[in-house]
């Protein structure tokens, strides 16, 4: 059964193991599917922002692709970190490289919890930050994520915590 998803690479379309991938190609592995650094298979996620957990998109440019699993799939649940849709497959096709514009447009339409995780994991330009501020005006989760993760205002959450504690007393 086919499963659509997303996979992120370093800007040279290489993964963590220096294997280079190309759009339009199908990649296969044999053996038992297993997650992790010593795993076996091709990892992908149903939600784009979950792929950013594995690549330093706040520090460097990455390539985000749409993919299709064409083989067996195993799911990994990591409730502690809030990531629920990590998958591993033995056959994957790299369908398309998403442009930055496509990525931003997509996230301007998604629910707040997905947008917040994206903002925490992907370096935005000043213009992109402004688009998110306008679209999610008054949404504290988004405003705080932008202030803290994008603009480096390290006391963002501390200020709110202090205000809450003062109200309690």
- Checking if the pLDDT of 165 tops 60, the result is no
Domain that holds residue 136: 101-168
Q: Are residues 120 and 133 in the same domain?
A: yes
Q: Locate tokens 């067996």: which residue? A: 72
pTM: 0.88
* pLDDT given for residue 167 in this prediction: 61
**What average pLDDT does range 80-104 have in this prediction?**
88
Q: Are residues 42 and 118 in the same domain?
A: no
Q: Are residues 66 and 10 in the same domain?
A: yes
Q: Are residues 83 and 8 in the same domain?
A: yes
Residue percentage of the chain with pLDDT more than 90: 76
Q: Give yes or no for a contact between 87 and 44, defined as CB atoms under 8 angstroms apart.
A: yes
3-state helix, strand, coil in the chain (%, to 5): 35, 30, 40
Q: Which of 46, 77, 98 is the endpoint of a domain?
A: 98
């Amino acid at each position: 059964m086919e499963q659509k998803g997303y996979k992120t690479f370093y800007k040279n379309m290489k993964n963590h193991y220096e294997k280079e991938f190309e759009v339009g190609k199908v990649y296969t592995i044999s053996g038992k599917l297993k997650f992790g650094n010593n795993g076996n298979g091709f990892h992908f996620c149903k939600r784009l922002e979950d792929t950013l957990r594995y690549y330093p998109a706040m520090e460097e440019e990455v390539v985000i692709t749409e993919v299709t699993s064409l083989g067996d799939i195993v799911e990994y649940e990591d409730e502690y970190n809030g990531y629920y849709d990590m998958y591993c497959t033995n056959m994957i096709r790299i369908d398309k490289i998403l442009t930055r514009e496509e990525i931003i447009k997509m996230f301007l339409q998604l629910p707040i919890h997905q947008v917040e995780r994206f903002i925490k994991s992907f370096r935005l330009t000043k213009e992109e930050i402004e688009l998110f501020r306008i679209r999610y005006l008054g949404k504290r989760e988004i405003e705080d994520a932008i202030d803290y993760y994008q603009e480096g205002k390290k006391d963002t959450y501390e200020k709110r915590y202090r205000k809450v504690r003062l109200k309690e007393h």
